[in-house]
Amino acid sequence: MPRRKMTQWFKDSRASKIKVTNARKGERWDALISAIGELRLANKERFSLTKNGRRVQVLETYEDVDGIADDGRYLIRPPLVAKNASDLQVSLDERGFSTIVLCREPKTQLGLCPVVTLGDNTTVRSQIKEPENPNGPSVSWFDGATDELGRTVVEKAGALATNGRKLDYLLGHLSAVPTYDDLYVAILVVCKALNGANE
């Protein structure tokens, strides 16, 4: 497959992830706030570049997946599974493409559409309204699915008892929903609370 020059957002993202990890380990909240800000900007650029004016591409075979080499939004569906979506996302990131890859699962008995995304050792699932055209979902439906997955993470973190646990949950799921901006907002709120507690 063709390889492009590594995009700036990917380089910035990779560098800021290292800063995030180191700052969290050292409980250096100011440094963590700064690193999260850098990662947020990198992924805003990533999301912006996926908006290439093209429709959402639905992929359901290995041949479909192997042929992908462009920016954009991609939806994996059965018989392919979430692991296929994750592998494709990693491959496209490393080859310099700006993409968002989600997976959908079979429609539920209630007629809802389960959507899934994988991160580093994490899985995020939610259920949303089935797209009007399952074979050609709209960009607004896809972006709504991405947002719903992000909201799921933020809501679950909010139910945890301590700021430390909330922070670790949010950071642990950040790789699964890296373009959901409110996730960064939630992380920054917790970081500032932890920083204030130490003053």
38-88, pLDDT tens digit by residue? 999 999 988 888 887 789 999 999 999 998 988 999 999 999 999 999 999
Q: Is the pTM of this model over 0.85?
A: yes
Q: Domain-by-domain residue ranges, the chain?
A: 8-194
Q: In what order do the strands lie in the sheet with 72-76?
A: 57-59, 72-76, 99-104, 112-118, 123-129
